Structure formats: structure tokens, C-alpha cells
Amino acid sequence: MNSLTKCIIGCYFILSSVSVFSQRIETNLNDNRNYILNDKDLNYKIGSWGDQGDGTYKNPVLNADYPDIDIEKIGDKYYMIASKQHFSPGMVILESDDLVNWEIIGHVWDKLDWSPDYNWDRLSAYGRGVYAGDLAYHEGKYYCYMIDSRHGLLVSTAENIRGPWSKPIKMLPPEIAHDDPTVFWDYDTHEAFLVCNNAFRVNPDPEMKKERMNENRIYKMSWDGLSVLDSGQVYYVGKVAEAAKVHKINGTFYIFMAEWFNKDSNNPKGGEFNGGDRKQFVLRSTTNSIYGPYEKKVVLERGNGFERSSCQGSLVQAPDNSWWYMHQLVQNIKSPFQGRPQCLEPVTWVDGWPIIGEDIDDDGIGEPVWSYKKPINGFPIKAPQTDDEFNSSTLGHQWEWNHNSRDSHWSLNKRKGYLRLIASKLLPNKEGFGPTVSSREKNIGINADFWRAPNTISQRIMGNTTGTATAKVDLSGMVVGQRAGMVRFSSVSHLFGVKINENGSKQLFFMDKEGKETESEIIKSKKLYLRTQNKGDQAFFEYSTNGKNFIKVATDFTIEFGYWSGDRIGFFCWNNNKEKGVFDIDSFHYEYDGPKANK
């Protein structure tokens, strides 16, 4: 990472002498209220998370599936990247003025084009693709590093954060690189380094693999950031230890990492769903060498009423030189259906060590805060884009395709003011197409048609309390054999929409997570409103022909986390018989319990 933007300005004793704002606001994140500010000049609403409009925020500040983030401060702006596996475009980029309010400004990769598995005519890389990355700025150029565990360590560059980004260059093969790269330019010594998790790929020790002990290495890197110069040096081994971020502060090297810790001696395995806690720890070297030796200290752990583990994020500074840490909540709960949201924590320094959050129980380890004062005041409430009238000639940044899009089969220009999806035939249900059996997934409905339908488009859900998404669609271009409508999915899918029967009739249908189809009414209207609502992880679909009177589909269902993703809301369109038929989406409106700018 860029040491010019990530080296400390100030001293530890100054930072540690600043008193911590410790006012706690009692809140319940399951409170389903939306708060509408009455001030006519404030054109936004708030909710049970994010900016509260009074100089404070509630965690998570970004309560949606933006995992594995990294943040880079350039000038007065903060830029964040987040992974999203097989969805395209890949590696979303967000921008913020205050670390609390974020908007999407683009993606690094327009296509995941380094493997045919991500193509629309394969759809065979569910749960793979874009994992945790590192965003860096060096000598006037932006860099994004990422490891696809099947295809190696990739890097792309750009002169402008909004792109265009270069084609990815492979720096390490998959036989070596496992995940979570980070880079560091040392401007004091004119040296560059790359750090990544090799797991047990370089040294395939069966015992290391059995115990999930990850090996992490430091590599020398070329000054231009595009090549690795040596075979690396091991600096740490730990239980699923990864997510390193390197900082040099007043001549001291710090490496922030995450690792699973056992709950107690009666639970030796620990781990994701075995009662363990994934904690944030820091390695510190005072030798002025990135190679160490390093001391270790846990600096953030689960507590203060948070059910989920807190770790893996990015250390940043505000203009007043205060330190802050943005991190995700891990999916180690029964129903992490919205994915991995982001929390913002204050950071204080004690004896040269960072304390993330607040040390509630005085054990020297921080715990996440529920609410706190904002790092920077004076900026309006913003939120990632959701609503869309489809009036632009370019697709909104909130939308991502299930694998790479089939660009000949969608358009914003063939009918102005609509997103048009053109029906493709399903891919064959055989090896090499669609999802494969994976030990990490439930594999429910793996043979359902949905998973082999090209051109599914969707966006993240917002929050984990309530949400209502409504779409106005036009059915007049649909033909016999075609199915189209609204979908909610992660590793399981639930669909509601319209199919055109052999006699040309338009029939509503619901398809459950097993792929079982239930037929409903025959409708005559060419216009239709589709709506889905959820309260917590319980959801259902509704429809209306006039946008006022909605009829609920009888079947409720549970939304889930899977393929390393939270639930998503979007649209599907395919034809069982031929490459024919269109589905026109007029508008999409999404109301949820959280901050939203009214544009």
C-alpha cells in the first residue's frame, strides 16, 4: 500500500492522550423503523444503521454484502473496493467523504475474462472469481491486486479510479497464491513488497492442511508493482490466518491480520461454525525491517453484544489525524443472509499498539462499538445506489450479472427508459455447465433451471431487518416458451414471474429453491408490478396489475447466504424452446431500513 497515504502523522503519546468519545447510544438493530427527517432541506432518510443525521453513526455503517474491503485515501476522498466472487463486473469501487456514507462509482473489471468458466455460455464458476483485493496508489497510478484461487495473483492498473482499468497481469500462479494479497512501497528505502497467503500450497504439509494452518509470505516486488522478484519468506503461520495489510508507522512495521481462535480448551477445533472467534490481530516489528521479527497482539474480538466475529479490514486516518478501522462481520451465525457488512471503529494507541473499538472489559483488547461520533462532519447522507428508472444509456453501478453478461441479449437503447432482457436458451444440464457440487455449499436445487440461465442481473440487498423491492415490467414482448420475472438468490434461488404457454397465455408461476414450479393465475395485462418483501430472513413475492393493489403469492421462503454471497434481488429471463422473446423492465424501487438519499 502507498506509504505516503498510510504512514502516521503524529506520535503515539499524542494519540493515546486523546480521550475516547465513549457515549453509547442504546439501540436495537432489529428495530424495523425508518426515520424520516422533517427538515425540508434534508432530502434523505435514516434507519437502524449508518449515518443518524445528528453527528453519530450506528454500526454497521454499510449493512450490505461488501466483503473483504480495502480503503485508500487519495486527497480528501476515501475509496473502497469489495469482492463479489463470480458476479460481473467484478471488484466494486465505492467513494466516501467521511468513511460513513458510501456511493458506488464503478468496478475494476468490466468482465471476468481470464477464464472461460466465467462466461455466460458456461456459468460454471459459482463461488469462485473475485476474492479479497488490495487497492493501492503509487506514483500517480491506481493498482488493484486480487487472487483468484484457481487462476493466480492478478493486478490491473488505471490512471483514473473510475477507469478504464488495464487487462489483468498474472504475477503468481495458483499453485503458489491462495488469497488476500497486499502490497507496500517503502519510500524510505525505495523497496516494494507483496504479502499474501499461500495457505499450504508452497509447502503441502498434510498436517498443516488438516489443521487449516495458513502460511503467509513476504515477496520482493518490482518498483512498478507488476512483478514478483523472489520466492518469498514466511513471516507467519496460523489457523486460517490471512487478510494481511501492511503499515509503516514512525519506522515501525505493523501487519494487520485475521485468524480463528478457539473458544475454549473444550473446543479444540474452533473455526467458523464451531464456536471459535475470528479475531483481528497485529504483528509489530520495531527493527525497521518488514521481515521482522514480529511481536503479536490481538486488537479486536467479538463482544459488546455483537454475535458475529469482527475482523479483516482497513486502517485509515481522518483529517484530524484520528485513526479508524473499517472491518467486516464474519458469517459465523445461523443466518447471515445479507452477507458480510462493514463496521467502522475508532482506534486508539496504547504503548505502541492499536486498540480497535472500545476495551469494554479492560482486558487490553478492543470490542466493536454499536454507535459513535462520525470521523468527519459536514457531508450529506449518501448510500449505495439501488433505485433505477433505466433512463441512462449506461447500466447503473449497483447492477451485476450472474457471471459475464451476454451483451447481445440485453439493452438500454432498444427501448428507451427500459432495461430489455432478451431470452437465451438454458445451458445444458451436464458437466462443465452450471454449478458443481461443493463441500462449502448446501447444493439445494443445484439442477434447477435458474442456475443455467444466462443474463440474470441483480444487486445486493440492504440491511437485515426489512426491505421492499418493487419493479414495473412490460410483458408485451414475451413469446411462447419464455419465462421472466424477479428472483432472490445466493446459493439457493426463489423465482416469481410469468411464463408464456403454448396457447400464448401468460401464466404466473413460483419456483422454489429445489427448482419445483408452482403455477398460478392466468393474467391478461401487458403491464405487471412485481414486488418482494422480507422481514429478517423471511421473504415472499407479490404482484399487481395497477401498482396499488398487490396480491401475495402464497409461499413464504427463507433467504440465505451462499456461494460466499448474501441474498440478492434481481431479474431472470430465459426461453425453454428458442432464442426469442424480450422482457422489459421499466423501473426498480427499493425501500429498506437504512440511510438512503432521495434523488
Q: What angle do CA 281, 287, 293 make, to 5 degrees?
A: 50
Q: What angle do CA 375, 377, 383 make, to 5 degrees?
A: 85
Is residue 565 a part of any domain in this protein?
yes
The SS3 of residue 225 is coil
Band of the pLDDT at 440, cuts 50, 70, 90? low
Rg (Cα) of the chain, in Å, rounded?
A: 24
Band of the pLDDT at 340, cuts 50, 70, 90? very high
Are residues 453 and 366 part of one domain? no
pLDDT of residue 268: 42
Q: What is the mean pLDDT of residues 438-444?
A: 68
Q: What is the mean pLDDT of residues 295-319?
A: 97
Spatial contact of 464 and 63, defined as CB atoms under 8 Å apart: yes
Q: Is pLDDT above 80 for 237?
A: yes
Four-residue CA torsion sign, 366, 372, 376, 382: positive
Is residue 69 a part of any domain in this protein?
yes
Q: Is pLDDT above 50 for 312?
A: yes
Are residues 426 and 367 part of one domain? no
Are residues 405 and 349 part of one domain? no
Are residues 428 and 294 part of one domain? no
Cell triple for 339: 452477507
Neighbours of 116 (CB within 10 A): 12
pLDDT in tens, 387-430: 999 999 999 999 999 999 999 999 999 999 999 999 999 999 99
CA dist 183 and 193 (Å) reads: 6
Q: What is the mean pLDDT of residues 34-54?
A: 67
Is residue 26 a part of any domain in this protein?
yes
Q: Which CATH number covers residue 464?
A: 2.60.120.200
pLDDT in tens, 7-35: 433 333 333 333 332 222 222 323 333 33
Are residues 217 and 150 part of one domain? yes
Pick the residue with more confidence: 68 or 436? 68
Is residue 309 a part of any domain in this protein?
yes
Q: Is pLDDT above 70 for 551?
A: yes
pLDDT in tens, 75-132: 999 999 999 999 999 999 999 999 999 999 999 999 999 999 999 999 999 999 999 9
Q: Is pLDDT above 70 for 274?
A: no
pLDDT in tens, 557-579: 999 999 999 999 999 999 999 99
Of the residues 358, 373, 388, which one is the last residue of a structural domain?
373
Of 174, 135, 178, 197, the residue nearest 5 (C-alpha): 135
Q: Is pLDDT above 70 for 40?
A: no
Are residues 433 and 362 part of one domain? no
DSSP per-residue codes, 486-511: EEEESSSEEEEEEEE-TTS-EEEEEE
What is the enclosing helix (H) or strand (E) of 5? helix 3-6
Is residue 379 a part of any domain in this protein?
no
Is residue 478 a part of any domain in this protein?
yes
Cell triple for 576: 425453454
pLDDT of residue 592: 97
Cell triple for 53: 443525521
Are residues 68 and 25 part of one domain? yes
Pick the residue with more confidence: 300 or 202? 300
Is residue 486 a part of any domain in this protein?
yes
Is residue 7 a part of any domain in this protein?
yes
Q: Which CATH number covers residue 169?
A: 2.115.10.20
Cα–Cα distance list, 319 to 5, 282, 349 (Å): 12, 24, 17
Q: Is pLDDT above 60 for 39?
A: no
pLDDT of residue 6: 42
408 Cα distance to chain centroid: 28
Place of cell 435458474: 450
Of 330, 338, 388, 341, the residue nearest 534 (C-alpha): 338
Are residues 521 and 480 part of one domain? yes
Q: What is the number of domains present in the chain?
A: 2
Are residues 426 and 353 part of one domain? no
What is the percentage of the chain residues whose pLDDT exceeds 70? 89
**Which residue range forms the structural domain that includes residue 504?**
400-597
Pick the residue with more confidence: 4 or 177? 177
Cα–Cα distance list, 307 to 98, 332, 333, 334, 440 (Å): 27, 8, 7, 10, 22
Are residues 233 and 94 part of one domain? yes
Are residues 106 and 208 part of one domain? yes
Are residues 48 and 174 part of one domain? yes
HSE at residue 540, side-chain half, CA atoms within 13 A, is 10
| Cis, bond preceding 354 (omega within 30 deg of 0) | no
DSSP per-residue codes, 260-294: EE-SSTT-SS--TTTT-EEEEEEEEE-SS-TT---
